[in-house]
Amino acid sequence: MPLALLANTAATGVLIGLILTVQLVHYPLFAAVGRAEWPAYAAAHARRITPLVAPWMALELATSLWLAAAPPPGVPRAPAWAAAGATLLTWGVTLLVNGPAFARLARAWDDGLHRRVVRANWLRVALWTGRGALLLFLLGQAR
């Protein structure tokens, strides 16, 4: 089995688990943190989650581009590029939408902003889950 495809699928699988944990566990529990404690809690959350997520996202990005640029035998080029595009879109949403929104929320709790962060994060959940399904398809195509 081609290394790029295996590494990409593994990274995406880990990230699906992480994003679902954040979306379904962490983000809802944020509302239970007291207003006075919130900034310290948010800073601790960011310090702990970033080193866990960042290496997997970097591996996913590198292997997505590798897979798209040089698809292994049997892997159709268009779905490989679609998977890479979803990776780039996930990075864009993370850097341009979710990251800045969470940074604003981390400074001071705001119920409306919290709801927007949770809603916007569903796009990342969908992108990673869709990528996972696409990569399972590609695994089935690889020779």
Q: Report pLDDT for 82.
A: 96
CA distance to 44, 54, 59, 91, per residue, from 130 (Å): 30, 20, 18, 15
Number of other residues whose CB lies within 10 A of the CB of residue 127? 24
Question: 83 with 8: CB under 8 angstroms?
Answer: yes
* The two three-digit tokens of residue 76, written as one number: 């159709």
pLDDT of residue 60: 98
The pTM for the full model equals 0.93
Tokens of 61: 């990005």
DSSP string over 18-49: HHHHIIIIIHHHHTTS-TTTHHHHHHHHHHHH
**What radius of gyration, in Å, describes the C-alpha atoms of the chain?**
17
Q: Quickly tell me which residue has 């949770």 as its tokens.
A: 118
Listed residue (53, 46, 24, 31) closest to 109, CA to CA? 31
Q: Reduce the DSSP state of residue 74 to 3 states and report it.
A: coil
**Given this model, what pLDDT does residue 143 score?**
83
Q: How far is CA 110 from CA 107, 113, 117, 127, in A?
A: 9, 5, 11, 26
Longest dimension (CA), the chain: 56
Instruction: Give the pLDDT of the chain (143 residues) as one tens digit per residue.
Output: 799 999 999 999 999 999 999 999 999 999 999 999 999 999 999 999 999 999 999 999 999 999 999 999 999 999 999 999 999 999 999 999 999 999 999 999 999 999 999 999 999 999 999 999 999 999 999 98
In this structure, what token pair is assigned to residue 83? 């998977």
